[in-house]
Amino acid sequence: MPEEVLVQAASEMLDWPDANGKRCGMGVMEMSHRGKEFTSICAHAESTLRSLLAVPAHFKILFMQGGGLAENAIVPMNLNALRAQPGQRGQTDFVVTGSWSQKSLQEAGKYSDTHLAASSQASGFTDIPDPASWEIRQGASYVHICSNETIHGVEFQALPDLKALGSDAALVVDFSSQVASRPVEWSRIGLAFGGAQKNLGPAGLTLVVVREDLLGHAMAICPSAFNYQTVAANGSMYNTPPTYAIYMAGLVFDWLQRQGGIAAMEVQNISKARALYQAIDSSGLYSNPVAAHCRSRMNVPFFLRTEALNDAFLSGAAAAGLLQLKGHKSVGGMRTSLYNAMPLTGVQALVAYMQEFERRHA
C-alpha cells in the first residue's frame, strides 16, 4: 500500500469527508452500502479505475469477493457454455505457466471439459511456450492464461492474439499480480480478473472486467452472487460488496493518477525490475532461472548459490529493514515483489544489501 494512502485513510477513518471536505459524521465501515456516501465512493472508484486502465465502454467492471481462487470456479461456471452444444459441458483450454494457472486448470475441471493447450512444466515453469505452438481446440469457449505467475516470476510481455492464432475463443486472463503495473491490451481480452491485494488495495476485493457479450451464459448451478450478469445488473451491489476494501482501492486509484497514471507506473516498474535483474545477473552468488523474454517485472524470484546461506541472508535483510523476501514454500530461495507501491529507492536498498552480503560471503 502506498504510505500516502494509509495516512489519508487513517485521517478519514472516524469521520469520512466528501469531495468538498464536508465530514459526514461516520466512517466508511459504518455506512450503508446503499447510502449516498458509499454509493459515491464506489462510483468514484469504478470511474477512476476505468479511466486509469482505459477500460472500453463495452466492458463491465465488477467488484466481487472470493479472490483469485474463487474466480477459478466462477469463470468456468459463467463462461464454459459460451460455445457448448445444449446439454454438453463447454470446452475450456488452459496455458499453464506456473502454479496459479495450474490451479485454475484443476478447478475448472469440476465445471467444464478442460484441456491443456500448452505447458512450461518441463522447464520448471521458467518459460512461456510460443503461442504459435498452443493446441487450442476449435470448440473452446475460452483460453485461460495467468499473465504474471506470482510464484515463478514469469510474465507475458504481450497478451496472445487468439484471433491471429485462428481461434474464436475468448481470452481469460488472471492478472492478479500484473493489473495496474502496465497498460492492458483490452482488444485481446474477453475477461480479466484479479485479487486486489497486490496493486489495487487490501485483500477482500476481487476485480473482474468482462466484455458485455460474455454475460448471460452462466450454468444453472452458478450461485446468484457469482453470476456476472446478476452482479453487473446490480452495479456490484447484488449483495453487500467489500465496502472498506473498495474505498481503499479508490484511494489507491487516486494515488495512481497523481503518480501520472499507468504509463508512469510502467516506466518506474521497468526501472525497478531492471535494477534488480542486473544485480542478480552480474553477481556470482545470486541467480534467476527465468527466460529473459518472460521475466516478471512484479515478482523476481532468485536463489543463492547455496541454500545454506538463506537464513543468514534473510536475517541480515530483516535487520536492514528489508522484509518479506523469503521465496514461496513451493520453490524456495528468495522472492522480491516489486508492486507499484514499492519505490525505486526500496529496490536500490535491496541491491546494496545483496552486494554487501555477497562481498561478506565471497
Task: Provide the annotated active-site residues.
Answer: 100, 174, 198
Number of shown-chain residues binding ligand PMP (CB under 6 A): 10
Q: How far is the CB of 203 from ligand PMP (least distance, A)?
A: 7
- How do 206-211 and 59-64 pair as beta strands? antiparallel
List the interface residues with ligand PMP, window 291-350 (CB under 6 A): none
167 Cα distance to chain centroid: 25
Instruction: Select the span of 20-28, 63-71, 124-132, 334-342 touching ligand PMP (CB under 6 A).
Output: 63-71
Task: Decide: 154 and 176 in contact? Cβ < 8 Å.
Answer: no
Q: Tell me which of 38, 63, 94, 100 binds ligand PMP, using CB under 6 A.
A: 100
Q: Report the interhelical angle of 344-360 vs 261-281 (nearest 10°).
A: 10
Interface characters, 167-186, with ligand PMP (x: CB under 6 A): -------x-xx---------
Asked if 146 interacts with ligand PMP (CB under 6 A), we say yes
Q: Tell me which of 42, 49, 53, 67 binds ligand PMP, using CB under 6 A.
A: 67
What per-residue string of b and e applies to 231-251 under the rule 16 or more CB within 10 Å gives b? bbeebbebeebbbbbbbbbbb
Task: Decide: 147 and 178 in contact? Cβ < 8 Å.
Answer: yes
Nearer to ligand PMP by C-beta: 177 or 268?
Answer: 177
Q: Tell me which of 1, 24, 26, 69 binds ligand PMP, using CB under 6 A.
A: 69
Task: Decide: 123 and 152 in contact? Cβ < 8 Å.
Answer: no
Give the containing element (helix H, strand E) for 52: helix 36-52
Distance CA 326, CA 324 (A): 6
Nearer to ligand PMP by C-beta: 74 or 118?
Answer: 74
List the interface residues with ligand PMP, window 191-220 (CB under 6 A): 195
Binding site residues, ligand PMP, CB under 6 A: 67-69, 100, 146, 150, 174, 176-177, 195
